[in-house]
Amino acid sequence: MQPDAQNATTGPKGPLEWGQINFLHTTDTHGWLEGHIKEQNYGADWGDYVSFTKHMKKKARKLGVDLLLVDTGDLHDGAGLSDATTPNGNVSNLIFENVDYDLLTIGNHELYVTEIAYETFGQFAKVYGDRYLTSNVQIINPATGALEYIGAKYRYFTTEQGLRVMAFGVLFDFTGNSNVSKVIKAADLVQETWFKDAINFHKPIDLFVVIGHNPVRPTVSSSTFGTLFSAIRKARPDVPIQGLGGHTHIRDFVVYDNKATGIESGRYCESLGWLAISGIKSSTCKADHNPKGVPHPTKSAIPLASTGTATASVSHLPTSTTPSTLRYARRYLDWNRLTFSYHAEQSQHYTSKFDIPKGVAVTHEITSERAKLNLTNLYGCAPETYCQYCKPFLTDGNIFKLLQTALSTVVVNETRKDIPRLIIINTGSVRFDLAKGPFTYDDSFIVSPFADAFQFIPDVPYSQASQVLGILNAGPFQKKKRDLSTENFNFSPVLADRDLCLDPPMTHSYGAMGKRSYPAGRLIRRQSTSPSPGYTTKDDFGTDGDDTIHTAIPDYDQPNDLQANASFPTDGSEPETVDLVFLDFIVDYITDALAQVGGKYTEADVSYYLPKTFTTNSYLPAYAKIAWQDNVPNCPVGTGIGAADKRNVEVVV
């Protein structure tokens, strides 16, 4: 862990089930390799994960079973370790590469910006060789001018225990990539000769593994897993198929048929997916289907009946035609040392035995790079915890109430400071929560890594401007595609479509199927047996998938946009005209809304209210320097998002 991080106080409910073949799955890490410094459930860093993977690989060999490490993309755009460099990922990718993955694939965040796409092609993909799978993603080779696959199209390999695997890596049908790359739609991919030849490979296949930055649940609009599964199942009706997906940032498990399932393993180094399978028929596999001394998979894959809900996802798909001997177990692990050491050592108390030299070296490297990038530079002390979804909009503890105050305070053009103004931002410009405690340079990326600047239209009749917010919030989610060169960004090329990397945005409509957990800063606590707020997941196997039992965190809908008012008449009267200030990202939505109420404004009427270097990543640090100076530098730390601060804590400064 990092020096200023904390460990969890509640641990796993019991040992993991081990099967004939097992998977550890990461996805959507988005640069969070330092862990969540102020959240106890996710305090482990990438060095701890390096140590954990080594222990688990060793344990698999001792049990005589297979363990595959899998990652399904989106390596940056979300935390300072990845986003404070140019290009994004310049430091974090090198740290990521310390894990010896068996299979990896590309995410959409590796493709938005040309510079990053070429770094992935020329550097990252080469580190992993044929283990890096991009079955439907190509790039123009700058040396030849010809399209090439960024990674391997597929990988046929035999595991240590003799299981013969055919693996593909398929990105969802993404269209926001820069013009140097090409994403082949899944419907076209499955018709390609090489893909059909791989399905009907000339060597025996015991298991198909389909990994992808791609939602595993076929009813999700952006998912293409249904297309991929159908193509394989029609050609190979009885061979097991295992999917490992990502992109929607949730914990989920889907049953396609009696020999095929899919797992999705969360986001942001909060979750680690575990999957165990036994009963795969193979003439060459010597793995023990029921390894000694550990629990075994017991669940059969039975598709849920169609009900018209989010769980009714596979009724339209082909199915296997024969009975199945397969048994499954899945678990979603919280990303902390207590969890890692428990499953590595069968002990609730991590000891020096857990750390291996390489893991310790990675932890030290992260500490060093954080210092070099000034990520620990302190702007102020956040006096309480603020969340995006755990509190109703604009109530105490809701981050948008904080941002409303911050916008009114610091988004000021000094030459027009006495003119009343309405300031509108899209809520999608906020990416994550803010925990009570030190507010640092790193936190500025965590809350909003985007670099949208503030534009305005001067002297808009208040009768028109006052109706804009309602129109925007009654309309569609605000998303657009624009030129994504590095010049579009203040300090590094991050994603401009602020959709939490989703298309459409995360709507939090999955019910309990992946509610995240949230807790806080560097504290010394006794071990607790009471559940802390966190993930309470429901998937196709039920509600027993979370490795650590948590209480649910409330989840409230938030509108498209937030408005702040400033310099209004002190007598409570309405001004005749206002400066209408907004993010350049939503300018088209603003002018369209004004047109609906009689305003005739074009792009020629729009100019920048503040310098273009003052962005969505800038205003909260500016506010912290003004309003959050109490207790600096010894900031009190809370108990985390979703929990009341009732426990006694000792703050280490």
* CATH code of domain 21-367: 3.60.21.10
67, β-bridge pairs: 22
User: What's the pLDDT at 638?
Assistant: 75
Mind giving me the DSSP string for 87-105?
STTTTHHHHHTTS--SEEE
Is the pLDDT confidence value at 525 over 60?
Answer: no
Q: Which residues does residue 650 pair with via DSSP β-bridges, in sequence order?
A: 524
Give the tens place of pLDDT for each residue, 322-344: 999 999 999 999 999 999 999 99
Contact 344, 285 (CB under 8 A): no
Distant-in-sequence, close-in-space partners of 224: CB < 8 Å, separation ≥ 6 = 170, 172, 173, 185, 186, 187, 212, 214
Give the mean model confidence (pLDDT) for residues 86-107: 97
More confident residue, 520 or 69: 69
Average pLDDT over residues 557-574: 96
Residues 94 and 89: their CA atoms lie apart, in Å, by: 8
Dihedral sign, Cα of residue 103, residue 107, residue 111, residue 116: negative
**Residue 142 DSSP SS3:** coil
Cα 136 to Cα 227: distance, rounded to the nearest angstrom: 13
Band the pLDDT of 642: cuts 50, 70, 90: confident
pLDDT for residue 486? 35
User: Which of 45, 624, 588 has its CA nearest to residue 337?
Assistant: 45
Poorest-confidence range of 229-238, 309-318, 385-394?
309-318
Instruction: Return d(Cα 626, Cα 651) in angstroms, integer.
Output: 24
Start and end residues for every CATH 3.90.780.10 domain found in the chain: 377-506+556-651
Instruction: Decide the pairing of beta strands 181-183 and 164-169.
Output: unpaired
- On the question of pLDDT at 411 being above 60, the answer is yes
Q: What is the mean pLDDT of the chain?
A: 89
Write phi, then psi, for 422 (nearest 5 degrees). Answer: -110, 130
Residue 307's pLDDT is 57
Task: Report the range of poorest mean pLDDT among 254-263, 279-288, 320-329, 644-653.
Answer: 644-653
- Taking the C-alpha atoms of residue 295 and residue 297, their distance in angstroms, rounded to an integer, is 7
Distance CA 43, CA 38 (A): 8
Q: Grade residue 180 by pLDDT with cuts at 50, 70 and 90.
A: very high
Token duo for residue 272: 């680690």
Q: Which helix (H) or strand (E) holds 79?
A: none
* Angle CA 427–433–437, to nearest 5: 135
Flag whether pLDDT at 229 surpasses 80: yes
Percent pLDDT > 90 in the chain is: 83
Measure CA of the first residue to CA of the last residue in the chain; give whole Å.
Answer: 16
Q: What is the pLDDT of residues 425-462, one digit of tens each?
A: 999 999 999 999 999 999 999 999 888 999 999 999 99
User: Is 481 a residue whose pLDDT tops 70?
Assistant: no
Structural fold of domain 377-506+556-651: 5'-nucleotidase;  domain 2 (3.90.780)
The mean-pLDDT minimum among 123-127, 302-306, 361-365, 394-398 falls in 302-306
| Higher-scoring residue by pLDDT: 274, 345 | 274
pLDDT band at 538 (very low <50, low <70, confident <90, very high): very high
Answer whether residue 306 shows pLDDT above 90: no
pLDDT at 292: 95
pLDDT, position 351: 54
Predicted confidence band of residue 498 (pLDDT cuts 50, 70, 90): very low
> Where do the CATH 3.60.21.10 domains begin and end in the chain?
21-367
Q: Taking Cα atoms as reference points, which of 198, 224, 197, 195 lies closest to residue 211?
A: 224
The strands making up 66-71's β-sheet, listed across from edge to edge, are 132-133, 103-105, 66-71, 21-26, 271-278, 327-334
**Looking at residues 13-32, what average pLDDT do you find?**
97
More confident residue, 649 or 126: 126
Q: Determine the pLDDT at residue 316.
A: 86
CA distance 340 to 347: 10
Task: Take residue 343 and report the two structure tokens written for it.
Answer: 């499953």
CB neighbourhood size of 89 (10 A): 27
Model confidence over 193-228: pLDDT tens digits? Answer: 999 999 999 999 999 999 999 999 999 999 999 999
DSSP-derived pairing of the beta strands 21-26 and 66-71:
parallel
| pLDDT, position 305 | 80
